[in-house]
Amino acid sequence: DTAVSQTPKYLVTQMGNDKSIKCEQNLGHDTMYWYKQDSKKFLKIMFSYNNKELIINETVPNRFSPKSPDKAHLNLHINSLELGDSAVYFCASSQDRKVSYNSPLHFGNGTRLTVT
Amino acid sequence: AQSVTQLDSQVPVFEEAPVELRCNYSSSVSVYLFWYVQYPNQGLQLLLKYLSGSTLVKGINGFEAEFNKSQTSFHLRKPSVHISDTAEYFCAVSDQGQTDSWGKLQFGAGTQVVVTP
Protein backbone atom coordinates (compact mmCIF):
# COMPACT_ATOMS: atom_id res chain seq x y z
CA ASP A 1 0.00 0.00 0.00
CA THR A 2 1.17 3.52 -0.71
CA ALA A 3 1.34 5.42 2.54
CA VAL A 4 3.23 7.24 5.21
CA SER A 5 4.16 4.74 7.88
CA GLN A 6 5.76 5.42 11.23
CA THR A 7 6.99 3.20 14.02
CA PRO A 8 6.42 2.52 16.79
CA LYS A 9 2.72 3.27 17.22
CA TYR A 10 3.09 3.50 21.00
CA LEU A 11 6.19 4.41 22.98
CA VAL A 12 6.27 4.43 26.78
CA THR A 13 9.52 5.44 28.44
CA GLN A 14 10.96 7.06 31.52
CA MET A 15 12.25 10.57 31.96
CA GLY A 16 15.83 11.03 30.92
CA ASN A 17 15.82 8.30 28.30
CA ASP A 18 16.66 8.75 24.62
CA LYS A 19 14.25 7.43 22.00
CA SER A 20 13.72 7.49 18.24
CA ILE A 21 10.66 7.44 16.00
CA LYS A 22 11.00 6.30 12.41
CA CYS A 23 9.02 7.38 9.38
CA GLU A 24 8.94 6.16 5.81
CA GLN A 25 6.88 7.26 2.82
CA ASN A 26 6.50 5.41 -0.46
CA LEU A 27 4.49 8.12 -2.18
CA GLY A 28 7.51 9.47 -4.02
CA HIS A 29 7.14 12.81 -2.25
CA ASP A 30 10.01 15.27 -1.96
CA THR A 31 9.27 16.72 1.48
CA MET A 32 8.66 15.16 4.88
CA TYR A 33 7.53 16.72 8.14
CA TRP A 34 7.19 16.13 11.86
CA TYR A 35 4.16 17.53 13.66
CA LYS A 36 3.42 17.38 17.38
CA GLN A 37 -0.16 17.00 18.64
CA ASP A 38 -0.62 17.88 22.28
CA SER A 39 -3.22 16.61 24.72
CA LYS A 40 -5.70 19.25 23.50
CA LYS A 41 -5.33 17.96 19.94
CA PHE A 42 -3.46 21.10 18.83
CA LEU A 43 -1.10 20.40 15.92
CA LYS A 44 2.17 22.23 15.54
CA ILE A 45 4.87 21.80 12.95
CA MET A 46 8.32 20.93 14.22
CA PHE A 47 10.52 20.24 11.19
CA SER A 48 10.46 19.61 7.50
CA TYR A 49 13.05 18.13 5.14
CA ASN A 50 13.19 18.45 1.38
CA ASN A 51 15.46 15.91 -0.30
CA LYS A 52 17.48 15.54 2.88
CA GLU A 53 17.75 19.33 3.36
CA LEU A 54 16.28 20.86 6.53
CA ILE A 55 13.92 23.64 5.40
CA ILE A 56 11.60 24.23 8.38
CA ASN A 57 12.99 24.27 11.89
CA GLU A 58 10.48 25.69 14.35
CA THR A 59 11.25 26.67 17.91
CA VAL A 60 11.85 23.21 19.28
CA PRO A 61 14.22 22.20 22.12
CA ASN A 62 17.54 21.02 20.73
CA ARG A 63 16.91 17.70 22.46
CA PHE A 64 14.86 16.97 19.33
CA SER A 65 16.96 16.11 16.30
CA PRO A 66 15.52 15.04 12.97
CA LYS A 67 17.54 12.95 10.55
CA SER A 68 16.77 12.21 6.92
CA PRO A 69 19.01 9.55 5.35
CA ASP A 70 17.11 9.86 2.06
CA LYS A 71 13.99 11.58 0.82
CA ALA A 72 11.79 8.61 1.69
CA HIS A 73 12.80 8.50 5.35
CA LEU A 74 12.66 10.98 8.20
CA ASN A 75 13.47 9.95 11.75
CA LEU A 76 13.06 11.88 14.97
CA HIS A 77 15.48 11.37 17.82
CA ILE A 78 14.69 12.76 21.25
CA ASN A 79 17.33 13.02 23.98
CA SER A 80 16.76 13.32 27.71
CA LEU A 81 13.02 12.90 27.51
CA GLU A 82 10.86 15.09 29.75
CA LEU A 83 7.29 14.71 30.96
CA GLY A 84 6.21 17.56 28.70
CA ASP A 85 7.33 15.63 25.64
CA SER A 86 4.35 13.32 26.03
CA ALA A 87 2.25 13.81 22.91
CA VAL A 88 1.33 12.22 19.61
CA TYR A 89 3.97 12.79 16.95
CA PHE A 90 2.86 12.70 13.34
CA CYS A 91 5.01 12.24 10.31
CA ALA A 92 3.71 13.71 7.05
CA SER A 93 4.83 14.20 3.48
CA SER A 94 4.04 16.45 0.54
CA GLN A 95 4.84 16.21 -3.15
CA ASP A 96 6.55 19.58 -3.38
CA ARG A 97 8.88 21.64 -1.23
CA LYS A 98 5.93 23.59 0.18
CA VAL A 99 2.34 22.76 1.04
CA SER A 100 -0.09 23.93 -1.62
CA TYR A 101 -3.36 22.98 -3.31
CA ASN A 102 -1.54 20.51 -5.54
CA SER A 103 0.77 19.39 -2.78
CA PRO A 104 -1.31 18.76 0.35
CA LEU A 105 0.02 16.94 3.40
CA HIS A 106 -0.35 13.18 3.76
CA PHE A 107 -0.11 11.95 7.34
CA GLY A 108 1.06 8.80 9.05
CA ASN A 109 -1.00 7.28 11.85
CA GLY A 110 1.04 8.82 14.62
CA THR A 111 3.26 7.69 17.48
CA ARG A 112 1.84 8.17 20.96
CA LEU A 113 4.77 8.97 23.24
CA THR A 114 4.20 8.71 26.99
CA VAL A 115 6.98 9.81 29.30
CA THR A 116 6.67 8.65 32.91
CA ALA B 1 1.53 35.03 9.32
CA GLN B 2 -1.79 33.34 8.96
CA SER B 3 -4.12 32.15 11.71
CA VAL B 4 -7.07 29.79 11.86
CA THR B 5 -10.00 29.83 14.27
CA GLN B 6 -12.43 26.99 14.63
CA LEU B 7 -15.35 28.44 16.48
CA ASP B 8 -16.70 25.27 18.06
CA SER B 9 -14.61 22.86 20.11
CA GLN B 10 -17.32 20.22 20.15
CA VAL B 11 -20.46 19.69 18.09
CA PRO B 12 -22.94 17.02 19.19
CA VAL B 13 -25.31 15.91 16.44
CA PHE B 14 -27.92 13.22 15.95
CA GLU B 15 -27.53 10.62 13.25
CA GLU B 16 -29.00 11.69 9.88
CA ALA B 17 -29.08 15.34 10.98
CA PRO B 18 -27.04 18.02 9.17
CA VAL B 19 -23.85 19.42 10.63
CA GLU B 20 -21.83 22.59 10.04
CA LEU B 21 -18.33 23.18 11.37
CA ARG B 22 -17.18 26.76 11.33
CA CYS B 23 -13.72 27.97 10.36
CA ASN B 24 -12.42 31.51 10.03
CA TYR B 25 -8.94 32.46 8.93
CA SER B 26 -6.78 35.53 8.58
CA SER B 27 -3.80 36.15 6.33
CA SER B 28 -2.10 39.05 4.58
CA VAL B 29 -2.01 37.07 1.32
CA SER B 30 -4.21 34.59 -0.52
CA VAL B 31 -4.36 31.16 1.03
CA TYR B 32 -4.92 27.53 0.27
CA LEU B 33 -7.64 26.06 2.50
CA PHE B 34 -8.02 22.50 3.70
CA TRP B 35 -10.22 20.38 5.93
CA TYR B 36 -8.78 17.24 7.50
CA VAL B 37 -10.50 14.54 9.56
CA GLN B 38 -8.90 12.52 12.34
CA TYR B 39 -10.71 9.34 13.38
CA PRO B 40 -9.91 7.98 16.85
CA ASN B 41 -6.32 6.77 17.15
CA GLN B 42 -5.57 7.47 13.52
CA GLY B 43 -3.71 10.03 11.46
CA LEU B 44 -5.23 12.95 9.61
CA GLN B 45 -6.98 12.35 6.31
CA LEU B 46 -7.65 15.05 3.71
CA LEU B 47 -11.38 15.73 3.30
CA LEU B 48 -11.22 18.55 0.79
CA LYS B 49 -9.16 21.51 -0.38
CA TYR B 50 -9.71 24.93 -1.95
CA LEU B 51 -7.65 27.23 -4.14
CA SER B 52 -10.00 29.43 -6.16
CA GLY B 53 -12.97 29.28 -8.49
CA SER B 54 -16.35 27.99 -7.31
CA THR B 55 -16.95 28.84 -3.68
CA LEU B 56 -18.49 25.44 -2.98
CA VAL B 57 -16.04 22.57 -2.78
CA LYS B 58 -17.05 18.93 -2.57
CA GLY B 59 -14.94 16.43 -0.69
CA ILE B 60 -14.99 12.81 0.30
CA ASN B 61 -17.63 11.07 2.43
CA GLY B 62 -20.37 13.54 1.43
CA PHE B 63 -18.71 16.60 2.95
CA GLU B 64 -18.61 19.99 1.29
CA ALA B 65 -17.21 23.37 2.26
CA GLU B 66 -18.13 26.90 1.29
CA PHE B 67 -15.52 29.62 0.87
CA ASN B 68 -16.55 33.16 1.72
CA LYS B 69 -13.86 35.70 0.90
CA SER B 70 -15.56 38.70 2.51
CA GLN B 71 -16.03 36.84 5.78
CA THR B 72 -12.72 34.95 5.45
CA SER B 73 -14.52 31.75 6.30
CA PHE B 74 -14.40 28.18 5.08
CA HIS B 75 -17.22 26.31 6.79
CA LEU B 76 -17.62 22.55 6.44
CA ARG B 77 -21.03 20.93 6.04
CA LYS B 78 -22.65 17.57 5.65
CA PRO B 79 -26.40 17.27 5.03
CA SER B 80 -26.84 13.96 6.86
CA VAL B 81 -24.26 12.49 9.24
CA HIS B 82 -23.57 8.87 10.14
CA ILE B 83 -22.27 7.39 13.37
CA SER B 84 -19.01 6.79 11.52
CA ASP B 85 -18.53 10.55 11.10
CA THR B 86 -17.65 10.81 14.79
CA ALA B 87 -14.14 12.27 14.65
CA GLU B 88 -12.02 15.38 15.10
CA TYR B 89 -12.12 17.83 12.22
CA PHE B 90 -9.34 20.31 11.48
CA CYS B 91 -9.41 23.37 9.29
CA ALA B 92 -5.99 24.37 7.93
CA VAL B 93 -4.51 27.15 5.82
CA SER B 94 -1.28 27.71 3.94
CA ASP B 95 -0.13 31.01 2.45
CA GLN B 96 0.15 31.21 -1.32
CA GLY B 97 2.62 34.06 -1.25
CA GLN B 98 6.21 34.13 -0.14
CA THR B 99 5.69 35.06 3.48
CA ASP B 100 7.45 33.70 6.54
CA SER B 101 4.61 31.18 6.78
CA TRP B 102 4.84 30.13 3.13
CA GLY B 103 4.57 26.40 2.72
CA LYS B 104 3.62 25.76 6.34
CA LEU B 105 0.22 24.32 7.10
CA GLN B 106 -1.37 26.15 10.02
CA PHE B 107 -4.08 24.14 11.78
CA GLY B 108 -7.07 25.26 13.78
CA ALA B 109 -7.64 23.82 17.24
CA GLY B 110 -10.06 21.20 15.90
CA THR B 111 -13.77 20.50 16.32
CA GLN B 112 -14.89 17.23 17.81
CA VAL B 113 -18.04 15.88 16.18
CA VAL B 114 -19.97 13.34 18.21
CA VAL B 115 -22.79 11.62 16.36
CA THR B 116 -25.38 9.83 18.45
CA PRO B 117 -28.27 7.60 17.36
Q: Does domain A4-115 have CATH number 2.60.40.10?
A: yes
Q: Which residues of chain B make contact with A104, given a CB cutoff of 8 A?
A: 34, 46, 49
State what percent of residues in chain B have pLDDT above 70.
Answer: 93
Helix, strand, coil tally for chain B in percent (to 5):
5, 55, 40
Q: How far apart are CA A109 and CA B108, in angstroms?
A: 19
C-beta neighbour count of B29 within 10 angstroms: 12
CB-based contact (8 Å) between B45 and chain A? yes
Positions of chain B with pLDDT lower than 70, given as ranges = 1, 97-103
Q: Determine the Cα–Cα distance for residues B6 and A106; give it in Å rounded to an integer.
A: 21
pLDDT digits (tens, 9 = 90+) for B49-60: 998 778 899 999
Ordered structural domains, chain B, with CATH: 3-116 (2.60.40.10)
State pLDDT tens for residues A56-113.
888 889 999 999 999 999 999 999 999 999 999 999 999 998 888 899 999 999 999 9
A40 contacts B96? CB cut-off 8 A? no
